[in-house]
């Protein structure tokens, strides 16, 4: 931990001794995890969106650059958007070099996040496998494995026998799509999505940053072509720099700032089964049949699939998509046919034409945007925050150079339609 970070981080630390002390006094001495301050008239930086990416951006602005006069403004509750609605998968086995660099940076930050934040995010490097169920997928994943080797990302292609050994409950002789192998990343895995947001919020608040909830940004104020502040439901707030990190509502916020983004938003849903005894300790993604599954610490089977086929801003999904996803996964994991669905939810994902994100300056001076993560935003949370903070503080970042919003105008696409996931 660097000295700058150590000087800033002065909160009452969580530890086994703190737990024992509070247990002895009936847990009456715990502090609030983060403050709920009144907004100031002006901040150096305003981040719109208190999800994982927005909070991570603010955290690394403070940790890496000493910029702590920051407000993170959220129209709902902290982590109430996609951060609290995803299926928690973490991996970095992407094909293109810029993508692999960004996602591997993120995966490596997850490794030490609990220690860095002094908050247990329950990172579990249980391994992620992406099933190859057609000859086309075999060729694609072999290519990705070779690319990952050159990028320094630890993955390998495994045969059906090893797939079965790692996941005994799987049916590798499926009626439609037999398992021909898989792209395997042993250090991929999962983390507790809520805890990631809470840990970042706690650290930001301790640095003196303001996490302002239940406050909507209704307009972006400019002088000429430079941002000077925002209007909110709690009054105007001035700033020197503005970060738009609002996932599915990125197009709405961009329009309020006076420019358009090359994205579209759609619902993405997931569900969990009733809890059962441990039967699967890795994450399995099956792109051909459009489904993926892991088992949570509580025993629930966490299931997700592709986006709905229509554009919308709803945080629900259509029934036919649940039916299609579960039907496909029952073919691959027959035992789950006996389970009942416990709950279902949806999020709003924003997708670009090349299925890669946007981390970029914008046509408005002082305004930066982080969006377009599609169905894979959670895995990128710390790396995205690290890169976005560097871009906002210094005006450039090696991790964001290829992810400009202007690449679509210039034809410099980062095509991740295979590696990006089941919804792409």
How far is Cα 388 from Cα 218, in angstroms, rounded to an integer?
A: 23
**Cα 392 to chain centroid, rounded:** 19
Does domain 128-188+265-352 fall under CATH 3.30.9.10? My reply is yes
The residue-averaged pLDDT of 380-394 equals 98
Query: Regarding beta strands 235-244 and 226-232, do their DSSP bridges make them parallel or antiparallel, or are they unpaired?
Result: antiparallel
CA 249 to chain centre: 15
Measured CA to CA in angstroms, residue 100 lies from 60, 165, 307 at distances of 20, 28, 23
Scanning 152-236, the segments in alpha helix (DSSP H) are 160-166, 193-206
Cβ burial 371-407 (10 Å sphere, 16+ → b, else e): bbbbbbbbbbbbbbbbbbbbbbbeeebebbebbbbeb
User: How far is 70 from 257, CA to CA, in rounded Å?
Assistant: 19
Q: What is the C-alpha to C-alpha distance for residues 238 and 231, in angstroms, rounded to an integer?
A: 9
The per-residue pLDDT for range 54-82, each reduced to its tens digit, is 999 999 999 999 999 999 999 999 999 99
Query: In the Cβ-directed half-sphere of 392, how many Cα atoms lie within 13 Å?
Result: 36
DSSP 3-50: HHHHHH--SPPP-HHHHHHHHHTTT--PPPSS--PPPPSEEEEEEE--
Q: What residue spans define the domains of the chain?
A: 42-115+192-261+354-410, 128-188+265-352
Q: Which of 198-207, 298-307, 330-339, 409-418 has the highest mean pLDDT?
A: 198-207
Query: Would you state the pLDDT for residue 1?
Result: 34
The answer to whether the CB of 56 falls within 8 A of the CB of 386 is yes
Question: pTM to 2 decimals?
Answer: 0.93
Average pLDDT over all residues of the chain: 92
Query: Among residues 337, 336, 293, which one has the least CA distance to residue 131?
Result: 293
What is the spatial distance between Cα 406 and Cα 363, in angstroms, rounded to a whole number? 10
- Residue 203 token pair: 């650290």
| Tokens 């000429």 found at | 224
In this prediction, residues 41-53 reach a mean pLDDT of 97
| Residue 407 CB partners (closer than 8 Å, separation 6+) | 413, 414
The pLDDT value given to residue 418? 56
Shared fold status for 42-115+192-261+354-410 and 128-188+265-352: no
Per residue in 229-285, pLDDT (tens digit) is 999 999 999 999 999 999 989 999 999 999 999 999 988 889 999 999 999 999 999
Q: Scan for tokens 């075999």, then name that residue.
A: 138
Residue 2: CB atoms within 10 A of its CB come to 8
What is the CATH superfamily name and number for domain 42-115+192-261+354-410?
FAD/NAD(P)-binding domain (3.50.50.60)
């Amino acid at each position: 931990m660097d000295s700058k970070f150590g000087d800033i981080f002065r909160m009452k630390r969580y530890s086994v001794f703190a737990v024992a002390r509070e247990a002895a006094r009936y847990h009456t001495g715990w502090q609030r995890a983060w403050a709920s301050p009144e907004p100031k008239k002006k901040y150096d930086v305003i981040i719109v969106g208190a999800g994982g990416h927005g909070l991570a951006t603010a955290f690394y602005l403070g940790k890496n650059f000493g910029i702590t006069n920051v407000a993170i403004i959220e129209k709902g509750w902290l982590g109430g958007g996609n951060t609290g609605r995803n299926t928690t998968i973490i991996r970095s086995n992407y094909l293109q070099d810029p993508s692999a660099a960004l996602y591997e940076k993120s995966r490596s930050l997850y490794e030490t996040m609990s220690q860095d934040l002094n908050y247990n995010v329950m990172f579990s490097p249980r391994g992620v496998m992406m099933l190859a169920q057609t000859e086309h997928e075999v060729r694609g994943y072999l290519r990705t494995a070779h690319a990952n080797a050159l990028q320094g990302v630890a993955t390998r292609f495994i045969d059906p026998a090893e797939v079965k050994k790692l996941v005994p409950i799987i049916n590798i002789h499926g009626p439609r799509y037999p398992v021909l192998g898989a792209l395997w990343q042993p250090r991929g895995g999962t983390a507790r999505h809520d805890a990631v947001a809470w840990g970042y919020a706690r650290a930001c608040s301790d640095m003196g940053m303001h996490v302002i909830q239940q406050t909507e940004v209704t307009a972006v104020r400019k002088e000429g072509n430079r941002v000077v502040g925002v209007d909110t439901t709690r009054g105007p707030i001035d700033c020197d720099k503005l970060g738009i990190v609002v996932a599915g509502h990125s197009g709405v916020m961009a329009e309020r700032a006076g420019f358009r983004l090359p994205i579209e938003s759609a619902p993405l849903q997931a569900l969990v089964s009733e809890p059962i005894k441990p039967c699967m300790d890795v994450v399995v993604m099956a792109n051909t049949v459009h489904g993926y599954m892991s088992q949570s610490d509580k025993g629930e089977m966490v299931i997700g699939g592709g986006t709905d086929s229509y554009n919308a801003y709803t945080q629900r999904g259509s029934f036919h998509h649940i039916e299609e996803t579960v039907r496909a996964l029952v073919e691959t994991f027959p035992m789950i046919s006996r389970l009942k669905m416990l709950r279902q939810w949806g999020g709003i994902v924003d997708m670009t034409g090349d299925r890669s994100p946007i981390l970029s300056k914008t046509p408005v001076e002082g305004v930066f945007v982080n969006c377009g993560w599609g169905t894979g935003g959670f895995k990128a949370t710390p790396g995205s925050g690290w890169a976005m903070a560097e871009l906002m503080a210094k005006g450039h970042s090696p991790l964001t150079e290829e992810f400009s919003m202007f690449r679509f105008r210039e034809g410099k696409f980062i095509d991740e339609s295979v590696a990006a996931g089941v919804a792409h």
